[in-house]
């Protein structure tokens, strides 16, 4: 029986420019959308994560390549700016490229375009390479990462440290569940973003109006631990959040959300 609706292959990858850049196409499915039929910010973050993994694998720096050396990539900083959220059934293209090393960080940027080629969102990320035995960062040497990079970035500055208010209000507690863990055994980075959005007071910030987020991942949270979420409203549509691991007393993440 012929297919009446030809769906594009999810994660259909095309590399070009000697692997400097990778492009992947994704369909916005029913499980990606919010109550108004637009892609959730967490869905966009998942697309970024998947595309980064695919490109790292193409460059022989992916999870399975590093696993043999007791190494793994850990996302340390993420900044996303959204111009327009794609809608249900839209096909989007996620473009990603590495653009160098800064201290301990490997830098990677993204651009998301819609069905007509219009720019929907941009993102910038900073990644640490960690020793999976000690969970400590290791310095990334030029001898180890022998790849070509692009010089251009989607933002003027690399995502930096957060400047959160001193006074923040406790809003909720998240107990770490098995479904929230990633392949290295700690809370997946997109889950922290989900916690931030769920912690928002819709009267102060509508989750559907978010146009940007910056989030820094500071320490891990594991199964059986609990994370206390604190928040504070800023000026000009800015909202601040942080998560404190109640087991270790350390900050797990710090975040800034911007709404229109």
C-alpha of 98 from chain center: 15
Indicate the average pLDDT of the chain.
Answer: 89
Q: What percent of the chain has pLDDT over 90?
A: 78
Say which range, 18-27, 87-96, 200-209, 238-247, has the weakest mean pLDDT: 200-209
**Distance separating the N- and C-terminal Cα atoms of the chain:** 47
With respect to CATH, is domain 12-138 assigned 3.10.129.10?
yes
pLDDT value at 46 more than 70: yes
Q: How much is the pLDDT for 104?
A: 92
Could you identify the residue written with the tokens 């460059």? 59
Give per-residue pLDDT as tens, 211-244: 999 999 999 999 999 999 999 999 999 999 999 9
pLDDT value at 13 more than 50: no
169-259 and 12-138 share a CATH fold: yes
Give the CA radius of gyration of the chain.
18
CATH superfamily to which 169-259 belongs:
Hotdog Thioesterase (3.10.129.10)
Segment 181-201 mean pLDDT? 92
pLDDT value at 2 more than 80: no
Say which range, 41-55, 154-168, 200-214, has the weakest mean pLDDT: 200-214
Q: How much is the pLDDT for 143?
A: 59
Q: How much is the pLDDT for 225?
A: 97
Read off the pLDDT band of 4 (50, 70, 90): very low
Say which range, 82-86, 189-193, 205-209, 242-246, has the weakest mean pLDDT: 205-209
Q: How much is the pLDDT for 15?
A: 46
Q: Where are the domains of the chain?
A: 12-138, 169-259
Say which range, 42-51, 84-93, 125-134, 146-155, has the weakest mean pLDDT: 146-155
The tokens describing 223, both together, are 């199964």
Check residues 260 and 134 and name the one with the higher pLDDT.
134
Q: How much is the pLDDT for 208?
A: 85
Could you identify the residue written with the tokens 């208010």? 165
The secondary structure of the chain as a DSSP string is: ---SS-PPPTTEEEEETTTTEEEEEEE--GGGB-TTSBB-HHHHHHHHHHHHHHHHHHTT-SHHHHHTTTEEEEEEEEEEEES---BTT-EEEEEEEEEEEETTEEEEEEEEE-TTS-EEEEEEEEEEEEETTT--EEPPPTTT---------SSSS--------S--EEEEEEE--GGGB-TTSSB-HHHHHHHHHHHS-TTT--GGGEEEEEEEE-S---TT-EEEEEEEE-STTEEEEEEEETTT--EEEEEEEEE-
Read off the pLDDT band of 144 (50, 70, 90): low
Check residues 51 and 101 and name the one with the higher pLDDT.
51
Instruction: Count other Cβ atoms within 10 Å, centred on residue 51.
Output: 23
- CA-based nearest residue to 175, from 245, 259, 103, 256: 245
Check residues 236 and 110 and name the one with the higher pLDDT.
110
Say which range, 56-60, 94-98, 146-150, 254-258, has the weakest mean pLDDT: 146-150
**CA gap 40, 67 in Å, rounded:** 31
């Amino acid at each position: 029986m012929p297919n009446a609706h030809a769906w594009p292959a999810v994660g259909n990858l095309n590399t070009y420019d000697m692997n400097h850049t990778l492009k992947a196409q994704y369909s916005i499915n029913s499980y990606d959308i919010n109550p108004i039929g637009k892609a959730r910010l967490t869905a966009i973050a998942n697309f970024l994560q998947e595309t980064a993994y695919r490109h790292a694998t193409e460059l022989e720096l992916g999870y399975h390549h590093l696993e043999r050396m007791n190494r793994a990539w850990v996302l340390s900083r993420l900044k996303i700016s959204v111009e327009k959220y794609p809608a249900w059934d839209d096909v989007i293209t996620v473009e990603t490229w590495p653009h160098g090393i800064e201290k301990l960080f490997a830098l990677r940027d993204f651009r998301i375009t819609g069905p007509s080629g219009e720019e929907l969102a941009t993102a910038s990320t900073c990644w640490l390479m960690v020793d999976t035995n000690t969970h400590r960062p290791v310095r990334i040497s030029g001898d180890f990462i022998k790849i070509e990079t692009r010089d251009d970035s989607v933002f003027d500055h690399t995502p930096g440290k957060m400047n959160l208010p001193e006074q923040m209000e406790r809003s909720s507690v998240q107990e770490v569940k098995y479904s929230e863990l990633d392949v290295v055994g700690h809370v997946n980075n997109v889950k922290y973003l989900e916690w931030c959005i769920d912690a928002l007071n819709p009267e102060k910030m509508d989750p559907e109006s978010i146009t940007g987020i910056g989030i820094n991942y500071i320490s891990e949270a594991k199964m059986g631990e609990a994370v206390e979420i604190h928040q504070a409203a800023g000026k000009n549509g800015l909202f601040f959040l942080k998560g404190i691991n109640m087991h270790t007393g350390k900050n797990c993440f710090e975040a800034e959300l911007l709404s229109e």
